[in-house]
Structure 1
Amino acid sequence: MQIIFRCDPALIPLLPQPIPAKQALPDWLRAMPAKAFSDMHEREIRTVKQCPPFVDAMSHGFMILLPCDIRVEHGTFTWDWDLPPLSVEEHPRSPLSFHAPAQIMGAPFHDGRSSAIKFNSFWTIELEPGWSLFATHPVNRDDLPFRLLSGLVDSDRFTDAGINFPAIWTKPDFNGILPKGTPVAQCFPVPRAAQTLVFEVMSPEKSSRYTSIVSEVLTTPGIYRKRFRAKRGGPGTQ
């Protein structure tokens, strides 16, 4: 899978490039202990840091990064980003724009008053034929003061303009700097091929294997990681 990113020539020295999501794992995950004492179990148990599906989900795909520092003070967003003249017309020059409250009226994540912010895109994204781009909030990142709204774009066809990423600001008491390079959207290609759902009852062989695997998972640490987890090369660059 080749993913092609393009931007205005004048922005090349200024923009942070999208990066593999595994390079954007948060400090809190790195600092998390591998084990913690559980009052319920009365012993130490493994934390989610040792859960491959949890970490693999956070490491999947690539991250779109905030292009400059944004200062937030009492609900007001400001930035100081001196862009050079751009060669592409109709190109955004601000890192943020907004959706009017009416555009998300009736959605459960809307308070009826606030606008949704929109992270403007400065990269176009091109995927191989038959693939779409799934964009969502950085996985398991409730520490971020916003919640991205998920979207699916046919980026094998929509390749000549940037994709903008709407979000709800979730921490109204946040005052400070959202720094340049903050992950704002986690993206990964998904195939558009039609799906067929098949439903079956377990055969005696499948039932036996189910019992055996669950027993091993419960009694032997690392079974999934050692026997079932696929190696991931991650996105490269050229």
Structure 2
Amino acid sequence: MSLIARCHPALKGLIPEPVPAEKALPDWLRAMPTEVLAESLGGERLRTLKQCPPLIDALGLGVMIPLPCDIEVKEGAFHWDWDFPTITDAPLTRAPLGAHLPEQATGTPLPLAPGTLAIKFTNYWTLEAPEGWQLLITHPMNRADLPFLTLSGLVSADHFGLGYVHFPALWTDPGFEGVLPKGTPVAQVIPVPRERPALKIAEMTEAEIAESRAIQEALQSEPGVYRKQFRK
């Protein structure tokens, strides 16, 4: 199975390529410790999120779409300066960032407080999925450090593989000043099958209760049990 990311030939080498998300793990994950001393528990040593495989696997799932150029944020305004070529055979804007009117989100619980900007990241890559697969496009997983929140959407990319999908987002840090650098991940793209599994509701049998208890006791007894025995 392969996803195909295509760009216009005039943009080849100008914009950074999408990458597997596992190759774009955040710097803070590498820098954080694996254990800390919890003062609230009398100095007891605790494992950190760095030892949580489900969290790390979510960070590395699918493909990351990077910001195409530097964007400077100054006094609430966005600026960019890049050598975008003249393209006459495709409807591509040179503006890497657009805007949505807040009124377009009327009736939603999105945090559009006064001063919150509704923006749209321009995506210069088309994304094609194999037949029967869709693409979930969402904010980079567990990336609360980013000054924006990309909204989630589901695209039938097996049929829309040559269409451009742009990324609406909320600018959530009105105090941010500086440069959002080229290559910053702005959206995480996760393939999902169109056919969705049915949901069944059941009560545990006695054997299942016993097995579940044994799993929980093993998880508490030593680190790495999930990673070594269950993670695939």
TM-score (norm 2): 0.95
Give the C-alpha shift of residue 53 in structure 1: 0.5
| Residue 33, structure 1, aligned to residue 47, structure 2 | no
- Whichever residue aligns with residue 229 of structure 1, its letter is R
Return the alpha-carbon distance in structure 2 between the equivalents of residues 103 and 16 of structure 1.
30
Q: Which residue in 2 is equivalent to 1:213?
A: 215
Return the alpha-carbon distance in structure 2 between the equivalents of residues 78 and 48 of structure 1.
36
Q: Which residue in 1 is equivalent to 2:173?
A: 171
Contact kept, 8 Å, 2:3 with 2:127, in 1: the verdict is: yes
Q: For structure 1, which segment, 80-89 or 136-145, has the greater mean C-alpha deviation from structure 2 after superposition? A: 80-89
Give the C-alpha shift of residue 100 in structure 1: 1.2
Give the C-alpha shift of residue 40 in structure 1: 3.5
Contact kept, 8 Å, 2:115 with 2:174, in 1: the verdict is: no
Deviation per residue, 1:52-83 (Å, 9 max, x gap):
01111111111000000000001100100111
Return the alpha-carbon distance in structure 2 between the equivalents of residues 77 and 220 of structure 1.
49
Q: Which residue in 2 is equivalent to 1:235?
A: none
Q: Which residue in 2 is equivalent to 1:196?
A: 198
Give the C-alpha shift of residue 12 in structure 1: 0.4
SS in 2 for 1:205: helix
- Whichever residue aligns with residue 106 of structure 1, its letter is G
Contact kept, 8 Å, 1:66 with 1:183, in 2: the verdict is: yes
| Residue 17, structure 1, aligned to residue 17, structure 2 | yes
Return the alpha-carbon distance in structure 2 between the equivalents of residues 6 and 115 of structure 1.
29
Runs of 4+ off more than 6 Å? none
Aligned length: 230
Contact kept, 8 Å, 1:101 with 1:112, in 2: the verdict is: no
Any stretches of 5+ residues in structure 1 without a counterpart? 231-238
Q: Which residue in 2 is equivalent to 1:233?
A: none
Q: Which residue in 1 is equivalent to 2:60?
A: 59
Q: For structure 1, which segment, 180-189 or 90-99, has the greater mean C-alpha deviation from structure 2 after superposition? A: 90-99
- 1:114–1:50 distance in 2 versus 1, CA, 3 Å: closer
SS in 2 for 1:147: strand
Contact kept, 8 Å, 2:116 with 2:172, in 1: the verdict is: no
1:150 pairs with 136, 152, 158, which one? 152
Deviation per residue, 1:75-106 (Å, 9 max, x gap):
10010011112253212221111111111123
Return the alpha-carbon distance in structure 1 between the equivalents of residues 85 and 27 of structure 2.
33
Q: Which residue in 2 is equivalent to 1:127?
A: 129
1:227 pairs with 205, 226, 229, which one? 229
1:91-102 alignment runs, 5 A limit = 91-102=92-103
Q: Identity across aligned pairs (percent)?
A: 49
Contact kept, 8 Å, 1:10 with 1:87, in 2: the verdict is: no
Q: Which residue in 1 is equivalent to 2:48?
A: 47
- Whichever residue aligns with residue 136 of structure 1, its letter is T
Give the C-alpha shift of residue 112 in structure 1: 5.4
Return the alpha-carbon distance in structure 2 between the equivalents of residues 82 and 130 of structure 1.
38
Give the C-alpha shift of residue 211 in structure 1: 1.0
1:99-110 alignment runs, 5 A limit = 99-108=100-109, 109-110=111-112
Q: Which residue in 1 is equivalent to 2:2?
A: 2
- Whichever residue aligns with residue 152 of structure 1, its letter is L
Return the alpha-carbon distance in structure 1 between the equivalents of residues 69 and 62 of structure 2.
22
Return the alpha-carbon distance in structure 1 between the equivalents of residues 186 and 17 of structure 2.
13
Any stretches of 5+ residues in structure 2 without a counterpart? none
SS in 1 for 2:36: strand
